[in-house]
């Protein structure tokens, strides 16, 4: 971890000494993950073609609670037995938060999430994706930030200063769920400041009757890299970007309506949106089960985007039992090509107060060699996770 990144942690440690600590809480989780790949990889390395890939992760959480302040420290360690590029030591969170009337002040390393839809998160832009961890892009790296927010009757308004950029993680040549070509570990930047470029973000959100409305703005380094072919490798190129977005969500009895839309000006201009509904049936078949029906449509006018003209259909089943058993099944279908789709299954349940299991499976299919999904065509997998919460 680079020195510039560490410097952002030091002021928070000093603040801990000065604050009036009322209590300290320690918790966290560890996990053992087994992935099974049925097909041979696109690469020819012996390690990549192992059927079973095993990894271990631990994420302790330490919280200091003061009268008007909190300090959270959440380190993260992941070790993989096949792909060294999945090995990671990260600070997911090291955040000092101070509350004063309607003002909230944060400084340190943390996570911020924007978005309301299920199948993808178009507008979520502050944190970098830990792509080596999960294919759904929901795993994020900690982001150094300064955040000031105010919560008023007319809505909530937040601004962020982001002084340090995190590079995206990728699977290595011995791993799976990556690109067919090795990724260079020496990325290029449009900004002369490279990782030290100061990014800016702002967001306004408010409830209007049944509607929750969010307006967001970001100006800085694009978290999604472009790629430049250099010899036998692909070099990530992080361009500058301006993004304006809106998200809407409303609940009408058992019906949830949602929309995310963004306009992005980077190396190319891009308009993208995703809209959908989720209808929840309670007490299915005279049981205590709840069944959610999800439908979302995605559009993106960028030629190489994964979801250009796609329909996602999903079903979410909650058994409402003591162990919190849930299941999600979904399929994303390309409406321009019937032979291009992905299928996702995720189910989980607690064993007891400390232990939990989760099973996840993905299937990828396309016949187009220029599709972003093509590099995953051989990487259908079944994943079993065992979590221990402490």
Residue-wise pLDDT tens digits, 152-171: 999 999 999 999 999 999 99
| Nearest by Cα to 76 from 127, 121, 116 | 127
Task: Compute the mean pLDDT over every residue in the chain, rounded to the nearest whole number.
Answer: 92
pLDDT of residue 8: 56
pLDDT in tens, 187-246: 999 999 999 999 999 999 999 999 999 999 999 999 999 999 988 899 999 999 999 999
* Model pTM above 0.75: yes
Q: Tens digits of per-residue pLDDT, 95-121?
A: 999 998 899 999 999 999 999 999 999
Q: Nearest-5° angle of CA 161, CA 77, CA 144?
A: 5
Q: Can you tell me the distance from the alpha carbon of 26 to that of 21, in angstroms, rounded to the nearest whole number?
A: 14
The CATH number of residue 145's host domain is 2.40.160.100
3-state SS, residue 166: coil
For the segment 256-292, what is each residue's pLDDT rounded down to a tens digit?
A: 999 999 999 999 999 999 999 999 999 998 999 999 9
Question: How far is it, in rounded angstroms, from Cα 202 to Cα 204?
Answer: 7
Round to whole Å and give the CA distance between 360 and 358: 7
Assess contact for 260 and 274: CB atoms under 8 A.
yes
Query: DSSP states of 22-44 as a string?
Result: EEEEEEEEEEEEEEEE-SPPSS-
Between CA 291 and CA 313, with CA 278 as vertex, the angle to 5 degrees is 85
User: If you search the block for the tokens 């199948």, which residue do you land on?
Assistant: 119
Of the candidates 235, 288, 233, 243, the residue with the CA atom closest to the CA atom of residue 270: 243
What confidence category does residue 12 fall into, taking pLDDT thresholds of 50, 70 and 90? low
- Residue 372 pLDDT level (bands cut at 50, 70, 90): confident
Q: What span, in angstroms and rounded, lies between the C-alpha atoms of 342 and 388?
A: 30
Total domain count for the chain? 1
Determine the structural domain holding residue 77 and report its residue range. 3-389
Q: For the chain, give the number of residues.
A: 390
């Amino acid at each position: 971890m680079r020195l510039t990144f560490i410097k952002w942690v030091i002021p928070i440690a000093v603040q801990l000494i000065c604050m009036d600590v009322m209590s300290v809480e320690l918790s966290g989780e560890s996990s053992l993950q087994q992935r099974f790949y049925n097909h041979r990889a696109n690469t020819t390395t012996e390690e990549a073609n192992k059927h079973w890939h095993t990894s271990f992760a631990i994420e302790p959480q330490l919280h200091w609670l003061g009268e008007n302040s909190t300090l959270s420290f959440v380190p993260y360690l992941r070790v993989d037995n096949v792909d060294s590029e999945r090995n990671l030591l990260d600070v997911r969170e090291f955040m000092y938060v101070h509350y004063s009337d309607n003002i909230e002040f944060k400084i340190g390393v943390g996570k911020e999430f924007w978005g309301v839809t299920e199948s993808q998160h178009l507008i979520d832009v502050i944190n970098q994706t830990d792509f080596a961890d999960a294919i759904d892009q929901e795993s994020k790296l900690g982001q150094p930030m300064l955040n000031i927010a105010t919560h008023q009757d007319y809505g909530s308004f937040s601004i962020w200063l982001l002084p340090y950029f995190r590079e995206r993680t990728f699977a290595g040549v011995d791993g799976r769920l990556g690109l067919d070509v090795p990724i260079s570990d020496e990325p290029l930047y449009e900004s002369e400041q490279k990782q030290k470029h100061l990014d800016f973000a702002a967001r306004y959100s408010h409830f209007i009757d049944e509607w929750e409305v969010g307006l967001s703005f970001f100006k800085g380094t694009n978290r999604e890299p472009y790629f430049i072919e250099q010899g036998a490798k692909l070099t990530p190129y992080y361009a500058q970007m301006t993004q304006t977005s809106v998200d809407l969500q409303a609940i009408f009895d058992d019906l949830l309506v949602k929309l995310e839309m963004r306009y992005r000006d980077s190396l190319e201009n891009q308009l993208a949106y995703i809209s959908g509904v989720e209808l929840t049936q309670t007490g299915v078949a005279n049981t205590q089960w709840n069944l959610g029906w999800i439908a979302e449509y995605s559009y993106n006018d960028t030629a190489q985007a994964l979801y250009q003209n796609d329909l996602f259909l999903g079903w979410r089943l909650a058994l409402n039992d003591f162990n919190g058993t849930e299941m999600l099944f979904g399929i994303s279908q390309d409406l321009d090509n019937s032979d291009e789709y992905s299928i996702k299954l995720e189910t989980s349940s607690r064993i007891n107060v400390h232990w939990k299991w989760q099973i996840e499976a993905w299937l990828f299919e396309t016949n187009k060699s220029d599709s972003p999904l093509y590099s995953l065509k051989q990487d259908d997998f079944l994943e079993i996770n065992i979590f221990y919460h402490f």
